[in-house]
Structure 1
Amino acid sequence: MAELPDRVLVGAAYYAEYQPYERLDADLDLMAAGGFGVIRVGESVWSTWEPRDGVFELDWLQPVLDGAHARGIAVVLGTPTYAVPPWLRAKYPETTAHSATGVAIPYGMRQDVDYSHPTFRYLAERVVRKIVDRYVGHPAIIGWQVDNEPGHKLFYNPQVFAGFLGYLKDRYGTVEELNRRWGLTYWSHRIDDWSELWTPDGNRTPSYDLAWRRYQATLGHDLIAWQAELVRSLVPAHQFVTTCIAMGQQGQDITVIGEPLDIAGANVYYATQDGLELPGAQGLEGGLAPFFVPWAGPAYLALQADTARGTRQAPFLVTETNATSIGGSADNFPAYDGQWRQVAWHLVGAGRVTTVGTIPDRELAGRLARYLARTSLPAEEWRDARPETVTVTVAVNAAGERLRFVHNWSWTPTSFAVPGEVADLLDGEPLAAGAKFELGPWDVRVLRERHAG
């Protein structure tokens, strides 16, 4: 059975192979000094692992794993199948993804391969087996990431459309049943034979669109399930299998994409600076974020975190998130001081159950939230003691100690008297009951007390 992390692991995706000069030891020393416990490596460089068809260079990662292990840093090693090398495109053009019927995606980006194609599967399995066989016994490795952000595109390849027809035949049986279930009498869209079904490019029939998207989602799901099963067959049972999930991908079903995994990984990107203002802009305003962030405010961050938990109804890994700035040169906004800490604590706490609703007026929403807090929540000394701009949430660690996450949601410093004996989790400073506790602007602190239960 896979052994999942028993504590929060803080780390980064790390690519020594990207660096223009040798700096591995210096980087790992900085990570160790910063308290890093894990790195993610290897998943974006198929052409480094296999520079020519069938020619493998596998030893370059060894110093990274050795150096990490020597410093007590665990490793999640990724398979590189989401970014194919130029030789694969040139030698096996049949694997090229089509963005429309007869329109091949030009090479030069990533995720431009039809991952349902048998030739791709053969080549992908070959490189995955080579990598896993080379590093499966390394003591630094705790888990494996299979592929990356599945479902990035919809495929319009001929063999994908042929598979779609097979999917429809299995689902509906006859064209008569398809005509009836899809309502194809409308606009004269009834078909008399399966060969008459049109390609999806110009389709405007909603039932067709729904079936097409459902079929595309099965392709993304099958990719992850296939790779997860392959890797599990090659690695010890205690090493977990995950992937990076981008919640908004069009070619995946977010309700089932996590099923083949031991633990889900989420790529959580968000608008920084004023884009994290509470309660946030009504929409994404004026270049506040990269193109892949659809709207601003903490609610979008919360939506991604809650969706990530929902993929398996379980805790999850945050495999990617804003580190410095992110995006293109025109929308590169590094976070304000303290915002990464805000977001980190939010994601750590995303295991809670969140009630989501829509209230059209912000002032009304604020008044309603304060009213509900006063009238529907049980009496709690910490809530009664805190100022209005401060929130206090609670968790219990494995040692039975209660942790209080204290957050000042304001530019104005504040303080209050702690109602019980606590200690600061980071510096260990004790505070007696009734002691004055200071919070700076947007400050987040974690306090520890003994858990009575």
Structure 2
Amino acid sequence: MSFKKILYGAAYYYEYLPYDRLDKDIEMMLEANINVVRIGESTWSTYEPEDGVFDFSTLDKVLDAMNQAGISVIVGTPTYAIPSWLSKKYPEVMVQVDGHRKPYGARQIFDISSPAFLRYAERIIRKMVSHVARHPAVIGYQVDNETKYYGTSSKNVQQGFVQFIKKEFNNDLDKFNKEFGLDYWSNRINSWEDFPSMDGTINGSLQAEFDRYRRELVNQYLKWQVELVAEYRLSDQFITHNFDFEWRGYSFGIQPEVDHFKASESLDYAGVDVYHPSRKHLTGAEISFAGDEMRSLKHDNYLVLETQAQAFKQQVPYPGQLRQLAFSHIASGANMVEYWHWHSIHNSAETFWKGILSHDFQPNPVYDEVVETGKQFKQLSQHIVNLKVTADVAFLVSNQSLSAIQNFPFSDKRNYNDAFRLLYDEFYKLNVRTDIVDEHHIQLDNYRLIVVPALYSVSDIFLSQLNDYVEAGGHVIYTFKSGFTDEHVKVRTDVQPGIISKSIGAHYELFVDPDGCRLVPESQVINPTSDLLLKDWMELLIPDTAEVIASYDDPNWQGYAAITKNTFGKGATIYIGCLPSKEVIHQIIQAFVEEVGIRRTSEDFPIIVKQAINEFGKQITFYFNYSGVVQTTHNSVTGNELIRGSKVSGPLSLEPWGVAIIET
């Protein structure tokens, strides 16, 4: 699917307004060239105030007004926040964690597998979507909102997990017990009827399997909603969902509770909610990694369904940042940028998560910048819509490894996503384009380099495929903890790192806490004046055929390698057996990328460069200055600068938090 123009807009909640100002809001939206709003996803209790009593009058009012103004609408199914009458009538719909039901009040506190919840959710979806489907303003639907399994472990979830295990192991209890080591501490299950609740398990491997099952519940739930909506939607209306990520006050890494790769299969477009640090902390890395993953899910452009305007007090942008960020989304492959949200609300949980308009509803510097950005989006839309992005490098991420490392951590301060972001951010700063994929969807031969952070849990078959990929001429960067366990988080009995030892040309028998240990550079790849202090984890690598890039300075670990490089067949691998500084990672990546011949510009952060091909077959190059001082490119830039409408030839100067778009 492709879009005729860039969509630019905001979530709009008429039901939250302290007074009716719909006409004034639309007037201000039109001034900002906003052409899309998202509505409806959070107000089930308004549309169904009593069991079986429906009132879509506010929905109709907004749809009619938006249509008259020429603003398109995405309608969200309202199932992520349930009405109070439903929880009172069927208390079993409330999510149960460790045997205790959560009280009513917050959003996303229900069991997505509850039969009662699903029955009522289906009814409101059918009523609502059938009511709006033929409205001319509606261009698409968002199913649910940031769906996860919410930690649910209710009785029906426990029973479903038993059936999941039965099917996976073909009713063979002995095989199941052996695979998960359940003889330990007398955890053996000798009858399916005796299968205990997972709430009390001490078996991290089985807990990771339970997490995998609950991620599958999310897949089923979203697919179920898509199929319901598809019964009513018109042929030119799309279906999407807004995926989110691990949350650390902003979007940080792979979402633990959702397998984005599988969950997105039923969608027309992948959609994303991405939030990030702001002001002097802004790097653009969160926008980039979120975009790389979303673009890779469907191998297509994606939709930014939520991103910040003002947000919390620590995220209010500097002048110029909001415009820069909007173009950053487009440069990563987005066809829509939509803020959460249009107006700030005046009470309840998110009162101070501010929208484009503050509580006084008056124009402000953020709104003024939205106006400027909307004007430029309208002006440039035909040049930057449906951009096609290709990458020579892929990050291989793994929900199963993330879950496994949660249960078997390598650190009490850092997790799987820290390992992922340690590598990703340095590729980003080096301006190397990447896709982000998982082991079930990757086409290895499409890439010249695969980056594999902490692939702790994975099948023998896939590790052998990685070896074959390298032998045939591919390149891989592995980090510590890779290849350690199988897909059920059962530790391999081989010398570690097991199967991939063949391609990395090294192995290890011991792993230790660094306890102040530092790297010793053994090649010119690592500058000896760098930050060489190690954190959390060290594998004492024994080179077989590998070249040593770095070793350890602890005299007790002399002779062991920390980082190695190995030629295997026609390809090569890097193995990073420790957790070094960002500076060291940057140097390793830069040297290997240059050796492999991966295309990149000579610019480095804070100048970020992203390229794509537009619908005219021309190359579009975005230049971003992620700093508060003027930056000038090292190389000469030639082409048409689209924002200013002028030709450029020579080094390009970028204002603080500036952006330039060159068409050649």
Q: TM class by shorter-chain length? A: 0.7 to 0.9
Structure 1 partner of 2:358: none
Match in the other structure for 1:445: 660
Check conservation: 2:280, 2:627, Cα contact below 8 A: no
Q: Partners in 1 of 2:77 and 2:43 — Cα distance?
A: 9
Separation of aligned partners in 2, 1:44 and 1:84: 9
User: Which aligned pairs between 1:59-78 and structure 2 lie closer than 5 A?
Assistant: 59-78=57-76
Instruction: Give the conservation status (yes or no) of the 8 Å contact 1:325–1:335.
Output: no
The residue aligned with 2:411 is: none
Deviation at 1:83, TM superposition (A): 0.4
Q: Match for residue 272 of structure 1?
A: 278
How far does residue 155 in structure 1 lie from its aligned partner after superposition? 1.3
Q: Deviations over 1:219-261 (max 9, x none)?
A: 1111100110011011112211111111334432222010111
Partner of 2:8: 10
Amino acid at match of 2:114: H
Question: Does 1:239 pair with 2:250?
Answer: no
Instruction: Say yes or no: does 1:312 pair with 2:311.
Output: no
Pair 1:135-2:132 in alignment = yes
Matched with 1:285 is none
User: Structure 1 residue 367: deviation in Å?
Assistant: 5.7
SS in 2 for 1:167: helix
Please name the residue that 1:303 is paired with. Answer: 289
Aligned equivalents of 2:256 and 2:609: distance in 1?
A: 37
Q: CA–CA distance in 1 between the matches of 2:124 and 2:627?
A: 51
Structure 2 residue corresponding to 1:85, chosen from 80, 83, 86: 83
Matches within 5 A, 1:42-121: 42-101=40-99, 103-121=100-118
1:340 aligns with 2:361: no
Compared CA separation, residues 276 and 134, structure 1 to 2 (3 A): same
Task: Tell me: CA distance 1:48–1:431, structure 2 relative to 1, closer, same or farther (3 Å).
Answer: same
Match of 2:257 in 1: 251
Q: After the TM superposition, which residues 34-45 of structure 1 pair with which residues of structure 2 at under 5 Å, given as runs?
A: 34-45=32-43
Contact 2:38 2:73 survives alignment (8 Å): yes
Residue 215 of structure 2 corresponds to residue 222 of structure 1: no
Q: In 1, are the aligned partners of 2:215 and 2:258 still within 8 Å (CA)? A: yes
Quick check: 1:397–1:403 contact (8 Å CA) kept in 2? yes
- Matched with 2:268 is 262
| Amino acid of the structure 2 residue aligned with 1:400 | G
CA drift of 1:274 comes to 3.5
Q: Equivalent residues in 2 for 1:418-429 (5 A)?
A: 419-422=637-640, 424-428=641-645
Contact 1:267 1:321 in 2 (8 A): yes
Say which is worse superposed, 105-114 or 333-342, in terms of deviation.
Answer: 333-342
Look up the SS of the partner of 1:255 in the other structure. Answer: helix
Residue aligned with 2:218, SS: helix
Q: Tell me which amino acid in the other structure corresponds to 2:326.
A: A
Mapped to 1, the partners of 2:589 and 2:89 lie a distance apart of 60
Matched residue type, 1:29: E
Paired residues for 1:356-375 under 5 Å: 358=423, 360-364=580-584
When residues 165 and 49 of structure 1 are mapped into structure 2, their CA distance, relative to the original with a 3 A threshold, is same
Change (3 A) 1:415 1:104: closer
User: Which residue identity is paired with 2:647?
Assistant: L
Listed as ranges, the matches of 1:14-29 within 5 Å are: 14-29=12-27
CA contact (8 A) 1:154 1:250 kept: no
Amino acid at match of 1:80: P
Structure-2 change in CA distance of 1:300 and 1:421 (3 Å)? closer
1:150 maps to which of 147, 151, 154? 147
Q: Distance in 2 between matches of 1:379 and 1:83?
A: 46
1:400 matched to 2:617? The reply is yes
Change (3 A) 1:137 1:156: same
Tell me the distance in 2 between the aligned counterparts of 1:58 and 1:263. 27
| TM-score normalised per structure 2 | 0.58
The residue that corresponds to 2:332 in the other structure is 350
| Count of equivalent residues | 416
Separation (CA, whole Å) in 2 of partners of 1:315 and 1:22 = 36
Q: Is the 8 A contact 2:605 2:626 kept in 1?
A: no
Deviation per CA, 1:328-349: give whole Å up to 9, x if none: xxx7431222333333333222
Q: Which amino acid aligns with 1:335?
A: P
Offset from partner CA, 1:44-69 (integer Å, 9 cap, x none): 00011101110000121223222222
Contact 1:38 1:74 in 2 (8 A): yes
> In the alignment, residue 169 of structure 1 is paired with which amino acid?
K
Q: Which runs of 5+ in 2 are unaligned?
A: 247-254, 334-388, 396-421, 427-579
**Structure 1 residues 205 and 363: alpha-carbon distance in aligned structure 2, compared to 1, 3 A threshold:** closer
> Secondary structure of the equivalent of 2:163?
helix
Structure-1 residue corresponding to 2:172:
174
More strand by share: 2
Call closer, same or farther: CA 1:71–1:145 in 2, change over 3 Å: same
Does the CA-based 8 Å contact 1:389-1:409 persist in structure 2? Answer: yes
Q: Which AA in structure 1 matches 2:643?
A: L
Amino acid at match of 1:8: I
The aligned counterpart of 1:280 is none
Report the TM-score, using the length of structure 1 for normalisation.
0.83
Q: Secondary structure at the match of 1:10?
A: strand
Q: 1:349 to 1:125 in 2, by over 3 A?
A: same
Residue aligned with 2:317, SS: coil
Q: Secondary structure at the match of 1:214?
A: helix
Q: Distance in 1 between matches of 2:626 and 2:296?
A: 27
Q: Where does structure 1 lack aligned partners over 5 or more consecutive residues? A: 278-297
Q: Is the Cα–Cα contact under 8 Å of residues 280 and 628 in structure 2 kept in the other structure?
A: no
| Residues 297-331 of structure 1 deviation map (CA, whole Å, 9 limit, x = unaligned) | x44443322222333333211111122123xxxx7
Q: Structure 1: how far apart are the matches of 2:598 and 2:88?
A: 66
**Alignment partner of 2:161 out of 158, 161, 164:** 164
Residues 447 and 160 from structure 1, CA distance in 2 versus in 1: closer, same or farther, beyond 3 angstroms?
Answer: same
After superposition, the Cα gap between the structure-2 partners of 1:179 and 1:37, relative to the gap in structure 1 and judged at 3 Å, is: same
Q: Report what 1:431 is aligned to.
A: 647
1:72-116 Cα offsets, whole Å, 9 max, x none, are 221110110110001111112121211222x11111101111121
CA–CA distance in 2 between the matches of 1:8 and 1:425?
A: 15
Percentage of matched positions with identical amino acids: 34
Distance 2:14 2:589 in 1: 47
CA contact (8 A) 1:338 1:443 kept: yes
Listed one character per residue, the Cα deviations across residues 2-38 of structure 1 (whole Å, up to 9, x for unaligned) are x543433111111121111121112112222212221
Q: Please say if residues 149 and 214 of structure 2, whose CA atoms lie closer than 8 Å, have aligned partners that are also in contact.
A: no
